[in-house]
Structures are given as structure tokens and as C-alpha cells.
Amino acid sequence: MHNLNIVLVEPQIPQNTGNISRTCAVTGARLHLVRPLGFEVSDKHLKRAGLDYWDKLDITYYDNLEDFFMKNRDGHFFYFTTKGLHVHSEAEYPDNSFLVFGREDKGLPEELLHDNPENCVRIPMRNELRSLNLSNSVAIAVYEVLRQWDYPDLSREGKLTKYEW
């Protein structure tokens, strides 16, 4: 059993968190939300984006970043940032990896990035543009890790509803 963890530090946009929740549910990744959140968890936009997968989601809440790190000392942390020194697909993600993403408008605290330069990764993109959407970035990251792990516990084949292959 592989453990993949997605960490959102102070997410601000409920639709992004809802989309990320759905990605976590369909891939088996655990979701960690670090407060303060820019929305209420009961927000209709959050629920709409996650659709009917809320009961399939493994989610943990933390009061702040310090609380998160105190409760997750044994993980392998990768900080996804436009300021990263390494390409995300060149990193090797061991079991119990934590993919950490910052808030949509500010990213992760620079002190955290400065103190962990070897674990700061970047999804390549054009320099003149600010960043990818948070939920898209999480999806790219999750599927890179799962690709490296050979997609454990995930179905590789679909089936038609009206026909046989």
C-alpha cells in the first residue's frame, strides 16, 4: 500500500479545493488542509466541485503549518512552487510523500522554501506567466507520482457502457 498525501496550505478558492478533493478521492491520495481556509468547508462551491465523492475522501485539518509539521514528522516533503530549483518529474517520490502547495495568491512561505531548497520542485512553464491553476498543478503532481509508482491500486482499463471491446 502506497501513501500519497496532498497538502494545501491556506487554500483560498473553494472550487480549487473541491477539484483537488475529487482528484484525491479517485486516486486514493490523502488530503491535508492547513488553516486558515479562505472559505467554509460547507461552501456550496466546494461541495459542487467535489461532487459526490466527499464520503470517499480521507481528509485532515490543521490549525496552521506548525501544527501540520508537528503531526507529520515521518513524511517526505516536496514543495511545489514557481520558485523551485528542480523539475517536478525529475524528483523521486518515496512512499509517504507529502506534496505541499501554497495558497493561490501567495504560494508557500519563502522561509519554508529557503530552508528546503532540495525539495522545492517546479512544474515547467513559460517564465513570463505567473503560474498554473492550483487544481491543475495538483493533478499534474499526483499523476507524476502515481506514474513513478506504476499506478498502484488504480484501474488501468475502462469499459464501454453499450458495447464490448
CB-side exposure of 156: number of CA atoms within 13 Å? 6
Q: Count Cα atoms within 13 angstroms, Cβ side, for 58.
A: 9
Residues that constitute the known binding site: 102, 123, 131
pLDDT at 46 (0 to 100): 54
* Count, residues in the chain: 165
Residues annotated in a binding site for S-adenosyl-L-methionine:
102, 123, 131
Contact 45, 163 (CB under 8 A): no
Q: What is the pTM of this model?
A: 0.93
Return the pLDDT at 49: 54
DSSP 107: B
All residue ranges of the chain with pLDDT < 70 are 1, 43-52
Distance (Å, whole) CA 141 – CA 75 = 17
Report which residue type is found at 127.
Answer: N
Tens of pLDDT along 77-93? 999 999 999 999 999 99
143: left (phi over 0), alpha (psi -120 to 50) or beta: alpha
H or E element that contains 161: none
Of the CATH numbers 3.40.1280.10, 1.20.1260.10, 3.40.50.10470, 3.50.50.60, which one belongs to the domain with range 4-148? Answer: 3.40.1280.10
Domain ranges of the chain: 4-148
> Dihedral of the CA atoms 105, 19, 99, 156 (nearest 10)?
-150
